[in-house]
Structure 1
Amino acid sequence: MVQLRRAKRVIFSNVRFIQASKDLTASQRNLKELLILLCRILFIVFLVLAFAQPFLPASDAAAPADASEVAIVVDNSYSMQNLHAEQDLTLLNIASDRARDIIRMFPGSTSFKVISGNSPGHGAPVQESEAEGFLTELDFSAKDLVFSRTATASRASHTFILSDFQKSTFKPSLLQGYDSTTQVHLVPIAAAATSNVAIDSVYLEDEFIRSAADNVLHVSLFNAGEEALEDVQVRLIVENRQVAALSVNLPPQQATEAVMNFRVEGAGTKRAYIEVEDYPVEFDNTYYFVLSPASNIAVTEITDNASSSLQRLYQNEPFFSFTSYTAGNINYAQAGTSDIIILNGVANLSSALAATVANFVKEGGTVAVIPPAGGEEAGYAALFQNLNIPASFTGATAASSKTNVAPPDPNNPFFRTIFSEYDPKMQMPAAVRSVAWSRASEDILKYRGGAPFLSRFDRGNGHLYMMAAPLEQDFSALANHALFVPIMYKLAIGSYKQQQALAYTLSGSTIQVPAISKTKKEGVYALQKDSLAFIPEQQVRGGKLFFDTPAAMDEAGFYTLQMQDSTITTLAFNYGKAESNLAQYAPDELRALVGPGRENVHIYDAEDAFSVKDAFEKRYFGVKLWKYCLILCLFFLMAEIALIRFL
């Protein structure tokens, strides 16, 4: 008896939920099974190959990649404060991250030298973990990355240099210290922008600093970017108190000078600085300088008139130290220490006096020549010839016609602080023209016809001021004019020179300041900032101290020069200006600079770390294929799952 299963009837409320059955033929089923089998076989094959670690041979077999020592040179100068082109991180952070990736390319037995401007661990060879720790500790330094120093410090087979490669600091000649056995790898770190505002320098309109009086400071600001900047705020701080502020517009890629008027109160050295607001490179936003109190200005007059008008003029002001000599009775040693020597109507200028005055000008002194009413001209001719001044006497007498002097130019720096209210129609004095000249460095006053009346000649390190007429009433009315006193004061004040500069750079040349007399104290001079003290190489000669900035000093600010427990003076130090120009070489520009003759220098594109890693491994390690095998393993595993699930 055959028993058949009775079909069971299932009632659905909606036939939409009934899944359609797929009819598979035997050939289709066999194809599916073959594809699944093929995927499994390929999965196993590539898995085995992944463990076997196959590779393609290196393209540069001459340079071994398994070097026992590798140098990692990281530029940590202040320009690396700039932001990266693709990430919101500083260039130093990016350089440190890429240096870690480079370290991980080498076997664990490799030792590394981490070299920077202030190398942690002093560039000693260390293992991978310690090298990565050094990279984490890196901070910005004022010491520029000296490639020649890194070349001698590193004799590794491979040296990686990670830097922004500034156009202002990098030169191809810096790589000459690396011989052909060292493979040098330049890894540029591209910045997002090169805009930056830096304080280039400051100087006083005249170096004579007067307490409770107006002083004029000139500030040079440099915009290194390619776009103009408007309303850049500039502040002047003296002894932690803001004394002046202004806003300036800065054209692109050029320097702009701002003028600030300020006053200082009280005696003694004043610590001051200029401050601007700029981001992200901030190391050059502050410029430190010192305002030293001005000592008395030494004025020496040589004249034939025992009661000249200059005596009363200069002796009325306590900040002038006035001395007068006749032409035949001169203390040359005393006169040589003056700030300014005034030859006032000397009729017979001896050859010895002419030579002394010429040397005084060449060595940095200031001389004012007021011609005599008459006398020998040979001495003046020798003086003019010695200083190469194209001047000669015209032979004018008191009976000669006089010409009015033209009103001064109010924009001339010589007159900038003289006039409270300038009147272009002011009454000017008349004078004859006893001396004529041409080609002066600057004409301060002119006759109405355009001929110079008072001019400045720059010779050597000093200046000579020439007046065209004597001060006698028969020749000139200047001595009775209101301009006479401020002009003569300005000549004397302009001759004053501070015994030390307003500021110095940390990488500057030899510094000279007055030294303590040996009869007072003997010892070693030191520069101190807070709790840090630096002893520079020093030499005392001619009453002056000469020293170089210690190499360990890398922080801008104020330093006191001390001998034992006595403070000699305060000096201001600032960073060098090369780092402020952020323009950098592109990889193609670097290749063009290095040239084809340096086969051991390799330049990578400024991209991510993988491009450097892949290019290096392909050249020296070969192309490792295990990771591609692993990828194919995963691909065929996913293909098998897809075949089972969907086919």
Structure 2
Amino acid sequence: MHIFFTYPRVLWALLLVIIPIILHLFSFRKHQHVFFHSIFLLQESQDEQNRTRTKLQEILILISRIIAIAFLVCAFAQPYIPVHAEKTEPNQTVCIYIDNSLSMQNETKEGIAVEIAKSRAMSILNAYTPQQSFYIISNNPSISDQIPLTKQQAEQKIAGIQTSPFSPPISEICLQAQSLDLHTKNTLYIISDFQKYTSDIANFPTDSLFHITCVPIISEKTNNISIDSVWFDTPFRVKNQIETIHVRIKNHGNQTHTDIPVQLFINDTLRAISNIQIEAENFVDITMEYSVANTGIISGKVSLDDYPLLFDNDYYFSYTIRNTINVLSINENQENTHITKLLQYDNYIELTQNSRHSIDYSLIQNYDVLILHELVEIPSGLIHTIQNFLELGKTCIVIPHKNSSIDSYNTCFAQFSNHSFIGYDTTTISIQGFDAHHPIFTNVFESAKTNIIYPIITSHFIIEPATNRIITLANHHSFVSNISLLKGACYVFSSPLQKEQGNFITHPLFVSLYNMILLVQNNQTIQTTLSDKIKIIAPQKATTSVIHIIRPEKNIDFIPFVATSLHSQEILLESFDAIQESGIYYALVEDSIFSGIAINYSRNESVMDFYTSQEIQDVCMTYNKTNTTLISGNQNTIQTHIRDALQGIQLWRYSLIIALFAIFTEIILIRFWKFFLKRPTNIHQ
């Protein structure tokens, strides 16, 4: 057994034991002469005994003083017996990770989980010497995570930690901590509720220089109810249309709940209420209806009341209803009267017809939908314009001419697709089927039918590869495919839409072309998760103006990163500092709002399922995580455990007790020794 000292230099003070030794060897007491009128009363034997007892007293006092000084010096040097075979490095890297994810809002027997985690972190700080520096890591990425902090700075950072919507896998935190110092011993303390969603213990790094200590915050499974998702019955939003919204609500607890009110708000106005009953560990889907009489940005929220976890009680969504959809049809010679009749009675769609020979390519970007109607060849200038058009998320519809140049079309397709025309088939054939789940067939048929009489096609181009087919011919060739690999959709018909090419234009499936046009306004995500990358296409005028992201009720206003290309600007929202809460945000340029952004917290943390301490140990054993240990208990227990693990068994208390006992013994010897010398004597005359 070896004993080490935290402050070994203090042991130089052991030289002070010379002082009582010198005092003992060189006594400076003056001898006092006592005169007796007769000496026969003194007994020689008793004189010798008293002299021996006096010397014994002086020796015992000397020993007491030496012991008192020696052990008092040892107490200040802080002796300890190492618990492990290896002595702890005094300059090791110490990282403390505090899990401040939304699940840490949960209540435990000791209080709110995130507050308990912060107190545990304080205990870890106090277990180290004042000279130790620390790295404090949370779920909010910050440059300060890479900077070593003093104990006081670490305490300040810990005190300021609040719950965060970001919840990376804990293995990523381990890699981040490990990268701080790859050459010396590195210790990471993980203070977490160890929710199974993020606690990928199997992926923890195994490194002899990297030690992981798990400090679990025991959270019991909470009867949490969450709004899981929201979706619409139809793929496009139109003014005055009855909208049917579907809401999925999950019960993550083991109790059945009844009469839970679910509220729907549209533009901050309550539009519908529904009371639900939901069984334990189950979900329920409900529908709610509303209509909107105006155009512009529509902001919605579905809400319920549930405690103690509040982050998943609200679900936001947003979309835009356009005033009109501007459609440009570029024709080879004459317009298609069938398309004109399909669209002319809808005031919501504004159709413009232009000849290929008189089109101004620079104006195409002002339209929402582009129809290439029976062009024999696609001009090279138009090819580049189509590519930019699709990059903006808009829709292109290609209807070939029977004499179209395959090479010209394939040159165009190659800019945004891996599809191509490989030939022209003059065989008369019927349509075999269609993808009934595709949104372009919404409301085309009132009910599902199995006995549909499909139209006949007299000739068609062969499109390869035969993927992304929407309408399929009997020979398994494609009649309509979406071939775009860019953000926008490019629907390609394999046959002209003329009477001599078949009867498709008189069939109900022809209405799908109308829906292709309507879908362009819904090339937008109604909601996104806070941890996702958010991309928004900015309007043309934003190329010369500053874009702002705002949330007025929270006084949030910041300038996002904007990726600029030749023809468009794309807003990229990846800032962890600017957006920390769910809600409706707005993109603004020149004091005009052009987009709504609905952001929700991830529902992954709604599942209150946690690892127990025993399960953590079992997983570590299963995956042979020999560098991972676990400590649990209250604040004082954890602090003592860490000190023992780092500095061994502390002996300074015992040294102090021995020093005090020696001082007390010295006092006894000085004050009460004379009572031991008294004994009865006989005097003879």
Most deviating of 411-420 and 95-104: 95-104
The answer for the alignment partner of 2:444 in structure 1 is 418
Distance in 2 between the 1:406 and 1:209 partners?
30
Tell me, yes or no, if the aligned pair for 2:548 and 2:560 is still in contact at 8 Å. Answer: no
| 1:525 corresponds to which of 548, 553, 556 | 548
Tell me, yes or no, if the aligned pair for 1:371 and 1:434 is still in contact at 8 Å. Answer: no
Taking structure 1 as reference, are residues 438 and 127 closer, same or farther at Cα in structure 2, changes over 3 Å only? closer
Distance in 1 between the 2:92 and 2:631 partners?
26
Taking structure 1 as reference, are residues 229 and 369 closer, same or farther at Cα in structure 2, changes over 3 Å only? farther
Q: CA RMSD in A?
A: 5.5
Taking structure 1 as reference, are residues 325 and 200 closer, same or farther at Cα in structure 2, changes over 3 Å only? farther
The one-letter code matched in structure 2 to 1:264 is: V
Tell me, yes or no, if the aligned pair for 2:98 and 2:137 is still in contact at 8 Å. Answer: yes
- 1:317 corresponds to 2:346: yes
CA shift digits 1:267-318 (9 cap, x unpaired):
3322212346766543133222222222432322232342422234334322
| 1:388 corresponds to which of 418, 438, 451 | 418
The answer for the alignment partner of 1:464 in structure 2 is 490
Distance in 1 between the 2:92 and 2:408 partners?
78
Per-residue deviation, 1:163: 1.3
Q: Secondary structure of 1:335's partner? A: helix
Distance in 2 between the 1:460 and 1:353 partners?
17
Superposed, 1:483-502 pairs within 5 Å as 483-484=509-510, 486-497=511-522, 501-502=525-526
Per-residue deviation, 1:144: 4.9
- 1:345 corresponds to 2:374: yes
The answer for the alignment partner of 2:12 in structure 1 is none
| 1:331 corresponds to which of 354, 360, 365 | 360
Per-residue deviation, 1:173: 12
The answer for the alignment partner of 2:601 in structure 1 is 575
Superposed, 1:111-126 pairs within 5 Å as 116=138, 125=150
Tell me, yes or no, if the aligned pair for 1:162 and 1:186 is still in contact at 8 Å. Answer: yes
Superposed, 1:398-477 pairs within 5 Å as 401=428, 403=430, 405=431, 411-425=437-451, 428-437=454-463, 439-447=465-473, 452-477=478-503
- 1:92 corresponds to 2:117: no
Q: Secondary structure of 2:357's partner? A: coil
- 1:558 corresponds to 2:581: no
Taking structure 1 as reference, are residues 331 and 497 closer, same or farther at Cα in structure 2, changes over 3 Å only? farther
Per-residue deviation, 1:491: 1.2
Most deviating of 332-341 and 65-74: 65-74
Superposed, 1:568-607 pairs within 5 Å as 569-576=595-602, 579-580=605-606, 586-588=615-617, 591=620, 603-605=629-631
Q: Secondary structure of 2:481's partner? A: strand
The one-letter code matched in structure 1 to 2:348 is: F
Taking structure 1 as reference, are residues 425 and 488 closer, same or farther at Cα in structure 2, changes over 3 Å only? same
The answer for the alignment partner of 1:301 in structure 2 is 329
- 1:618 corresponds to 2:644: yes
Taking structure 1 as reference, are residues 265 and 250 closer, same or farther at Cα in structure 2, changes over 3 Å only? farther
Q: Secondary structure of 1:191's partner? A: coil
Taking structure 1 as reference, are residues 502 and 72 closer, same or farther at Cα in structure 2, changes over 3 Å only? same
Give the % identical residues.
Answer: 21
The one-letter code matched in structure 2 to 1:371 is: P
| 2:240 corresponds to which of 208, 212, 216 | 212
Distance in 1 between the 2:616 and 2:598 partners?
38
Q: Secondary structure of 2:499's partner? A: coil
Distance in 2 between the 1:360 and 1:516 partners?
13
Most deviating of 374-383 and 290-299: 374-383
The answer for the alignment partner of 2:191 in structure 1 is 162
Taking structure 1 as reference, are residues 312 and 610 closer, same or farther at Cα in structure 2, changes over 3 Å only? same
Per-residue deviation, 1:607: 5.7
TM-score in terms of structure 2 length: 0.64
Distance in 2 between the 1:277 and 1:559 partners?
23
Per-residue deviation, 1:493: 1.3
The answer for the alignment partner of 2:102 in structure 1 is 78
Taking structure 1 as reference, are residues 152 and 426 closer, same or farther at Cα in structure 2, changes over 3 Å only? closer
Tell me, yes or no, if the aligned pair for 1:112 and 1:126 is still in contact at 8 Å. Answer: yes
CA shift digits 1:246-287 (9 cap, x unpaired):
97999989x999887653232332221234676654313322
The one-letter code matched in structure 2 to 1:318 is: N
Tell me, yes or no, if the aligned pair for 2:558 and 2:578 is still in contact at 8 Å. Answer: no
Instruction: Give the unaligned 5+ runs of structure 2.
Output: 1-67, 658-685
The answer for the alignment partner of 2:506 in structure 1 is 480
May I ask how many residue pairs the two structures share in their alignment?
A: 563
Taking structure 1 as reference, are residues 544 and 230 closer, same or farther at Cα in structure 2, changes over 3 Å only? farther
Most deviating of 241-250 and 540-549: 241-250
The answer for the alignment partner of 2:265 in structure 1 is 237
Superposed, 1:130-279 pairs within 5 Å as 131=155, 139-144=162-167, 160-166=189-195, 168-169=197-198, 185-193=213-221, 208-215=236-243, 236-240=264-268, 241-243=270-272, 262-275=290-303
Per-residue deviation, 1:458: 4.2
Tell me, yes or no, if the aligned pair for 2:332 and 2:355 is still in contact at 8 Å. Answer: yes
Per-residue deviation, 1:384: 5.6
CA shift digits 1:326-345 (9 cap, x unpaired):
33333323335543332333
Per-residue deviation, 1:426: 5.2
Distance in 2 between the 1:317 and 1:245 partners?
34
Superposed, 1:350-389 pairs within 5 Å as 350=379, 353=382, 357=386, 360-361=389-390, 364-374=393-403, 376-383=405-412, 387-389=417-419
Instruction: Give the unaligned 5+ runs of structure 1.
Output: 1-47, 631-647
Q: Secondary structure of 2:104's partner? A: helix
Tell me, yes or no, if the aligned pair for 1:515 and 1:540 is still in contact at 8 Å. Answer: no
Distance in 2 between the 1:157 and 1:452 partners?
60
Question: Which structure has the highest helix share of the two?
Answer: 2
Most deviating of 442-451 and 337-346: 442-451
Q: Secondary structure of 1:474's partner? A: helix
| 1:509 corresponds to which of 533, 545, 551 | 533
Q: Secondary structure of 2:398's partner? A: strand
Distance in 1 between the 2:273 and 2:495 partners?
41
Q: Secondary structure of 1:291's partner? A: strand
The one-letter code matched in structure 1 to 2:419 is: I
Tell me, yes or no, if the aligned pair for 2:406 and 2:421 is still in contact at 8 Å. Answer: no
Per-residue deviation, 1:210: 0.9
Tell me, yes or no, if the aligned pair for 1:536 and 1:547 is still in contact at 8 Å. Answer: no
TM-score in terms of structure 1 length: 0.67
The one-letter code matched in structure 2 to 1:238 is: I
The one-letter code matched in structure 2 to 1:92 is: V
Per-residue deviation, 1:494: 2.0
Per-residue deviation, 1:551: 0.8
Structure whose alpha-carbon radius of gyration is higher: 2
Distance in 2 between the 1:119 and 1:393 partners?
55
Q: Secondary structure of 1:487's partner? A: helix
